[in-house]
Amino acid sequence: MFYKVEDPSFVSAHEYLLKSFKIDIQKNQFIELTIGSPVIFLNLYNLIPKLAIKALLPRNHGGIESSTVTIIDGSIRGQSTHLDFYSFVDYAIEYGMNVNSALEKIIVKRSFTAHQLADTIICNLTNMIQKYKSNLVIITDLFATDEQLHLSERKWLLNHMINSISGISKSIITVVFSPVVIDGFQKVISMNAQQKSKITTTSSNKKV
């Protein structure tokens, strides 16, 4: 008896490498990031420099040979940024990279209002990715829309940003760093005391 297998998915080793990227969040704890599966890191902002610099490395050195890495910084209204550029320098040195060359490949777009953040993600991010040939996009504090906005408008903006990120994730790796769980993401990576480095599925944990 023969069974029909619908929509078989076969990929070459080369295609798998293009769609896969491992990052160690602590000693001997590796998380695999893949195209088509946007991920939230709960807090863990200290991973941003390592993740960005390592993505620039050749595949045989654990990277994905990304021409650039695009970072959308969502820390709005003058809040302190989570981007420590001295750490970017430290990791570039650790990986034996030319510091100036590595830093030039880190494209940072900062937003100062909720509408600037939404406009960047919804209207401009696809063009930025194509222009700079980024294989990895990092977004910080996606939830941090302006508290002066009406709740309904904040939800509307957030939903549209999530839809845009989902579309982008079909072709590149996208990662969001946030202090809260946001509904609409397939994987949430946490390092709290009770759930160390466990991958969970978001369900009804939506917080805006």
Domain harbouring 124, CATH code? 3.40.50.300
Read off the pLDDT band of 66 (50, 70, 90).
very high
* Residue 84: inside a domain: yes
pLDDT score recorded for residue 24: 85
Nearest-angstrom CA–CA distance, 136 and 172: 6
User: How many Cβ atoms sit within 10 Å of the Cβ of residue 148?
Assistant: 9
DSSP state of 167: H
The vertex-158 CA angle with 71 and 87, nearest 5°, equals: 25
Q: 133 with 67: CB under 8 angstroms?
A: yes
Domain of 65 in residue numbering reads as 34-200
Nearest-angstrom CA–CA distance, 81 and 66: 24
Nearest-angstrom CA–CA distance, 64 and 136: 9
What is the pTM assigned to this prediction? 0.81
User: How many Cβ atoms sit within 10 Å of the Cβ of residue 201?
Assistant: 9
Overall number of domains in the chain: 1
pLDDT of 196 > 50? The answer is no
pLDDT score recorded for residue 195: 44
* Residue 27: inside a domain: no
* Residue 60: inside a domain: yes
* Residue 208: inside a domain: no
* pLDDT average, residue stretch 99-124: 92
Task: Let me know if 126 is exposed, middle or buried by CB neighbors in 10 A (0-12, 13-18, 19+).
Answer: middle
* Residue 25: inside a domain: no
* Residue 78: inside a domain: yes
pLDDT higher at 111 or 206: 111
Nearest-angstrom CA–CA distance, 77 and 73: 12
pLDDT score recorded for residue 78: 54
* Residue 17: inside a domain: no
* Residue 6: inside a domain: no
Q: 49 with 108: CB under 8 angstroms?
A: no
Nearest-angstrom CA–CA distance, 52 and 69: 6
